[in-house]
Amino acid sequence: MAVRPAPSAPASSATTQPGPASQPRQEVTPIPPTRGSADAVAIAERILPSTVTITVTVGSQGELGSGFVLDHRGRIMTNNHVVADAAHGGSIMVSFSDGHRSRAEILGRSPSYDLAVIQVADHRDLHPADLGDSDATKVGEAAIAIGSPLGLGGTVTEGIVSAVNRPVAVGDSNSTSGQAYLNAIQTDAPINHGNSGGPLVNGAGEVIGVNSAILTGSSGQQESGNIGIGFAIPINQAQQIGELLVRDGHATYPVINATVTGNGSDTGVRLATVTPGGAADRAGLRTDDVVTAVDGHPVRETEDLIVAIRNHRPGDVVTLEFERNGNSHSAEVRLRSKRG
């Protein structure tokens, strides 16, 4: 997407002269110190012992990712895509900042949220990370990413929170796992391959997100690394899903029992099919209805609708605004549950 300069203000024919020095000035209030500042050294010392490198080996092939310690029982959070291959006969090795290593196994994983919790066998002297409140995260505040980009364990990078509530689809829709949909925290803290699953930390040294994806450029056949746009799963959601993974070994996510597609006009999402007897059908929605908002929040693309629904839990009731034959309607939909 091209970025264009802002247009100039219209020129005026009048000549503006500076006023006399004694002219009263409008009082200017200084901006107070913001949450954008952070002591990166202190934060690194605090969170590095909680951050791990994860190596997944399948046959002669290996993959690297990151994670962070949840508790003294040896539970570690990471991305599903980091450990997914280990669910099919691979092995997991976790390396800690002090150099010791431990085998691990998957407690539970969710392709739909791209989250997993693993359990290390040796859980002596662990340092659980302090978890923050991602709902309180503000654009512009400090953000520090910690992990193992390109296998370089214990790497610390600093930036800011560039955006919150950014709908993002991650992964290949044609893969067996399908795509994960994130209501992401966007950051310009440099994140590269291998950072996946590691913590995104605020200025207080609290984890506010799970680093999960980057937007990359490409040149010919070669894909570039970080270009200043990374995405993290908000920790409030990750913690909720993590508890399900520990308890049940899997997670559920909410659905309206319909397939959706863009309508080509950036003004809503068309229901391509509606499952008979499903949540949307029972609420009175029909095939070809165009959903324009969820709980008052505009829907322009399919990711907007899916992420807005997945911000809830099965059993919640949401209000969908939609158009049918040129007329506007609304319906209350009680969300159903699907495993994934």
Which residues are tagged catalytic? 81, 114, 196
Burial (CB < 10 A; 0-12, 13-18, 19+), residue 266, is: exposed
Distances (CA, A) of 237 to 167, 226, 243: 14, 25, 10
Is residue 191 within 8 Å of residue 145, measured between CB atoms? yes
Q: Chain-centre distance of CA 277, in angstroms?
A: 32
Q: What CA–CA distance (Å, rounded) separates 250 from 252?
A: 7
Q: Provide the token pair at 57.
A: 């080996």
Q: Chain-centre distance of CA 318, in angstroms?
A: 22
Q: What CA–CA distance (Å, rounded) separates 187 from 104?
A: 30
Q: Which residue do the tokens 């920790």 mark?
A: 235
Q: What CA–CA distance (Å, rounded) separates 201 from 320?
A: 34
Of 226, 298, 240, give the one whose Cα is nearest residue 269.
Answer: 298
